[in-house]
Structure 1
Amino acid sequence: MGIFPGFSGWINQNIQQPLKTSKRSKNGKSTSVSEEDRYIQGPWYWDPDLSPKEKAESLELDHVKSMPLLSTDPKYYDLDELARQNELWKSENEKHPWNDAPDKVKVKTKKGLCHLNIDFTLGSPPQAVDEMFTNPRNLTFFHSMGKYKNHWRTRLDTIATKVLKKDGPRQITEVEKVLRWKILGYNGTFPIHVIIDENHQKVTATYKKVKVKYMKVFEGSWKMEPLYVDQERLCKSRSRISEEEYKKCSGGKGRIGSKVTMEHIFQPSSFLNVPPVSWFIRGIAVKVTKVLLQDLREFVTTMNKMKVLD
């Protein structure tokens, strides 16, 4: 079945939160969904290898959290190859462990605008990482760990999504999220309402605020590039090669990770953009961003340590 259960299958099997299904009236029609369930609008794509019977059975589940769906368009990448890579990361983990490079975070403030530039790597293919960034099902990619685990389910939740435009690999989506933060004994929630312009083929995106509380400017971008982590060991080469060349010279045993480049630009509202309040806000933004990246890293590391499915 293509990518399932190789990718989304293990999501549903291993990290899914308890489901909250919609209630049905006597005539079989669903009643109105709660505020918590507004995000079920999508965007969603079915695995193209799913049989009509499997799709029908999935639809009977009555909740998008339980369905084998993707938030990125599978027309623009090889689902079978992605599933193979996910299994390869698991099978090679003990024999050839791979550690992510330390994050590179640069913060620069100019004319009131804070530019946060981040480079980091993850042991998972670009399309899988993109799915983690954009999937609106509130799966535990950004799971509260350590001292937070008794307080919050996740740090970053999606409230609602709506596709505004779809043109080939390009998709423009309106997204509402809520970010939970805790720093220096203070904690709170931070509502985020943005427009995300994605390219599912290039694995890139830009975003810009519709409305973000306390922020005059809130925008940025990200891109995921393939990282051939076993190239030097299996191909005996450091020169740049293509994915096909990498697959050939590694005998199909070469893992593909991700090099992620992000830029986040923000500026607090005028009445908050003065010291020391502006310093505090920038400190929260940088701290929370680093914590979210660590959540992703811990999630990917945990998945790679799981046993290969029979």
Structure 2
Amino acid sequence: MRVFSGFGGWINQNIQEPPKAESKRSVDVNTNSVSEKDSNDQELHYDKEEMKKQGQLWIDAEKKQPWYDAPPKVKLTTKKGLCHMNIELTLGWYPDGVFELFTNPNDGPLFFDMNKHGRQLLIVKVEQPVAWDFLWWSGAIPIELIVEENQTDLTAKYKKEKMMFMKVFDGSYKVEPLYVDSVRLCRHNEPKSPQEYKICSGGQGRIASKVTMDQYFQPYPPFNLPPFSWFIRDITIRTTITLLKMLQHASVVVRE
């Protein structure tokens, strides 16, 4: 399944990493966590068993009562020709899994597709066409993005290297936990971390995700003037929201 398949096929991609960055894998049998290191001393920890358990909690709960994700909330502001989209949305899936939906080629990448090797911080260059349609016209706009992904705090930044019509096109997103069963299982204790939540819920509490995205874009002259600016702004907003709704739909599919 590919979240991004409707947005255009991947043309080319290049992973940019520090020189001589050789991955070294070690497994701690006592904690069931996997640690991967590379030459710049970056390290990534994740509990595969906990992720698997969270996934099963969501699948079991979905059979009893389907989870509903509200449509993305979008706030648009424009200052001196620079458009800023602030978008918030929730997904009924655990944060590490949602981050994988953004980035993992097997789960359905939203921004980029690559062969990951457990790096904590990756800088990726992607080139792809952006599909668009307006009234009876349609086509594809080529775009090259530089994406910096941080797997530790589940954040990413991206910026355009080359993009037709756009002088500015960059942004960021982050994935945060939502302890959706805390009221039912933790009584009056509001957990501050996944560890606290696991204790107070007896390991039975689901963790949902809140995604916050900030995107900035500004067309080159003369496309920054009406009516061209209206047209480009409409395409950018509609395409971004459509992709995020596809991401929400992907979380429904993995819960079923």
Query: Could you state the TM-score of these two structures normalised by the residue count of structure 2?
Result: 0.78
Contact kept? 1:141, 1:295, Cα under 8 Å: no
In 2: Cα distance, 1:36 partner to 1:205 partner: 19
Indicate which of 150, 154, 165 corresponds to 1:199. Answer: 150
Change in Cα spacing, 1:133 to 1:110, as seen in structure 2 (3 Å) is same
Indicate which of 248, 251, 255 corresponds to 1:300. Answer: 251
Which residue in the other structure is 2:76 paired with?
107
Instruction: Please state how far the C-alpha of 1:87 moved relative to its aligned partner.
Output: 1.7
Contact kept? 2:87, 2:214, Cα under 8 Å: yes
Instruction: Please state how far the C-alpha of 1:214 moved relative to its aligned partner.
Output: 1.1
Q: With CA pairs under 8 Å and 6+ residues apart, which has the higher RCO, 1 or 2?
A: 2
What SS is found at the alignment partner of 1:106? Answer: strand
* RMSD of aligned residue pairs (Cα, Å): 3.2
Change in Cα spacing, 1:205 to 1:302, as seen in structure 2 (3 Å) is same
In 2: Cα distance, 1:106 partner to 1:89 partner: 30
- For 2:99, the aligned partner's letter is D
What SS is found at the alignment partner of 1:97? Answer: coil
Instruction: Please state how far the C-alpha of 1:76 moved relative to its aligned partner.
Output: 2.7
Which residue in the other structure is 1:130 paired with?
99
Contact kept? 1:39, 1:136, Cα under 8 Å: no
Instruction: List structure 1 segments (4+ residues) > 4 angstroms apart after TM superposition.
Output: 35-43, 45-49, 139-142
**Which structure shows the higher strand fraction?**
2
Indicate which of 98, 108, 116 corresponds to 2:85. Answer: 116
Pairs aligned (count): 231
Instruction: Please state how far the C-alpha of 1:39 moved relative to its aligned partner.
Output: 4.5
Contact kept? 1:157, 1:178, Cα under 8 Å: no
In percent, how many aligned pairs have the same letter?
43
* 1:284 maps to 2:200: no
In 2: Cα distance, 1:130 partner to 1:74 partner: 17
What SS is found at the alignment partner of 1:271? Answer: coil
Which residue in the other structure is 2:163 paired with?
212
What SS is found at the alignment partner of 2:63? Answer: coil
Change in Cα spacing, 1:183 to 1:88, as seen in structure 2 (3 Å) is farther
In 2: Cα distance, 1:238 partner to 1:205 partner: 31
Which residue in the other structure is 2:31 paired with?
none
Alpha-carbon displacement from aligned partner over 1:201-220 (angstroms, at most 9, x marks no partner): 01111111111111100100
Instruction: Please state how far the C-alpha of 1:189 moved relative to its aligned partner.
Output: 1.5
* 1:263 maps to 2:214: yes
Tell me, which stretches of 5 or more residues in structure 1 are unaligned?
1-14, 17-34, 50-72, 143-155, 306-310
Change in Cα spacing, 1:272 to 1:162, as seen in structure 2 (3 Å) is farther
In 1: Cα distance, 2:245 partner to 2:251 partner: 10
- For 1:108, the aligned partner's letter is T
In 2: Cα distance, 1:236 partner to 1:184 partner: 53
Contact kept? 1:105, 1:118, Cα under 8 Å: yes
Alpha-carbon displacement from aligned partner over 1:160-207 (angstroms, at most 9, x marks no partner): x699xx997322222223322334343222222111122110111111
Which residue in the other structure is 1:188 paired with?
139
Change in Cα spacing, 1:210 to 1:167, as seen in structure 2 (3 Å) is farther
Instruction: Please state how far the C-alpha of 1:140 moved relative to its aligned partner.
Output: 4.7
**Which structure shows the higher helix fraction?**
1
